[in-house]
Amino acid sequence: MIKTITINELTPGMFVHEITEQSGKVKIKSQGRVASEAVVDSLRARGVLKLRIDLSKQFDPRNGTPIPTAVQEAPANTRKAAKTSFASELINAESLYKQGKKIQHTLLQAVEKGLPFDDRIPSEFSHKLVASVERNPDALLCLTRIREKDDYLLEHSLNVAIILANFARFVGMNDDEVQELAYAGFLHDMGKIRIPDDILHKPGRLTDQEMDVMKKHVQFGVEALEEVNLNAALIRTVSEHHERLDGGGYPAGTASNGISHAGRMLAIADMYDALTADRCYKAGMPSQRAFQILISESPHKLDKGLVQQFIKCMGVYPVGSLVLLSNDKLAMVLAQNDSPLTPKVKQFYSTKGGHYITPKDVDLEADTRITIVKAVRASDYKINFNEFFNQSIAP
């Protein structure tokens, strides 16, 4: 029951049988339990690249209890939460999304005024968010694509939290780690409320002086979290979302192994959502272009292994994104299939006739007559996708 994995696949609850590949001069030969992300970070810092784990010795990292063999052989991201249909979960997800924006607004007001906030409310919300992702990840993921151009600051952190809950679940983190990473995503950009609007919303390139001001948002956010005594690991994750592996990030210029696993994941999700977001002064780019940028930023700035896993997690055509079909229809991706190129979609617009059509669900894996031509943006066809979604998909 020995399996070879990479360091990026190592998660708490695994038992290291043998180190098979590492860089650096100090060779590690010991076996042992991986009790926390700190152990993973330590092994990564010491140059471990590949290792063998003993599946028969896996355990629950929360209490050290051995996991029965039948569970050990299941994929790391297998969960026992009761699943629900997309349509059913979308009702709850819409309510959660609205609640999340209201909570973000309240938190930002507190930070803007220099007041501490009650962390119980956003913490409880992030638990509800993760529970929704467990029941049906596609519902909340779909809502991350329904953006209001003037609500970027409210929506961005909420979207990053949703994306991170999915990402953490995909790579096999335990429940507590999924929860903490999603919570870090929800809180990561609060310091931006203290950045002057003329810099925060400037459509063009920032000057060096303006960029120095912008960079302060990370420290402002960290200070706000320290005031309410949140745990140090979460604050560290938030502090690292603009750090880069080559040391060229900010605010500390931390490099390589100094950046935590959680911080690396947050950096990827933060960049992805920022690239695909519609702003008042620009349209967001298609996911495929954002993926290309993430790949181009690795391995020098972003963790290459995690970028690859992130793209697998999101899918070639992420849920909620728009695609042009070979039958000249526009469709929204509803769910992934086994093949990343043939998701389930809802077609709703005729590009040939230039008008909306009666929405129709199509499983591209089953209906091989229709294929995806390319990913597109609603702005490419001058259509109001939010209006379509609210009238035709949302309950």
Predicted confidence (pLDDT) per residue in 246-272, tens digit: 999 999 999 998 999 999 999 999 999
Domain that holds residue 355: 322-392
State the pLDDT at residue 281.
67
Is the bond preceding residue 340 a cis peptide, omega within 30 degrees?
Answer: no
Tell me the pLDDT band of 284, cut-offs 50, 70 and 90.
confident
Contacts of 36 (CB under 8 A, 6+ apart): 12, 61
State the pLDDT at residue 68.
59
Does the pLDDT of residue 81 top 70, yes or no? Answer: no
Write the single-letter amino acid at 31.
Answer: Q
State the pLDDT at residue 76.
39
DSSP count for the chain of H helices, then E strands: 14, 9
Could you say which of 13, 37, 72 is where a domain stops?
Answer: 72
In a domain, 78, yes or no: no
DSSP codes of every residue in 74-126? S-TT---SPP--HHHHHHHHHHHHHHHHHHHHHHHHHHHTT----THHHHHHH
Q: Over pLDDT 90: what percentage of the chain?
A: 52
State the pLDDT at residue 241.
97
In a domain, 277, yes or no: yes
8 Å CB contact between 30 and 14:
no
Structural tokens at position 20: 């098979």
Does the pLDDT of residue 71 top 50, yes or no? Answer: no
Both 282 and 343 in a single domain? no
User: Which has more pLDDT, 291 or 204?
Assistant: 291
The average pLDDT across 180-208 equals: 93
- Nearest-angstrom CA–CA distance, 133 and 127: 10
The model's pTM is 0.77
Both 92 and 65 in a single domain? no
Structural tokens at position 282: 């620009």
State the pLDDT at residue 78.
38
Q: What is the CATH number of the domain that holds 192?
A: 1.10.3210.10
Q: Return the number of other C-beta atoms located less than 10 Å from residue 217's C-beta.
A: 22
Both 11 and 150 in a single domain? no
In a domain, 15, yes or no: yes
In a domain, 256, yes or no: yes
State the pLDDT at residue 152.
83
Does the pLDDT of residue 45 top 50, yes or no? Answer: yes
The residues that bridge with 330 in the sheet, in sequence order, are 324, 349
| Overall number of domains in the chain | 3
Strand stretches in the chain, DSSP E? 2-6, 15-22, 32-33, 48-54, 322-325, 329-335, 344-350, 355-363, 372-376
Phi, psi (deg, nearest 5) at residue 51: -155, 165
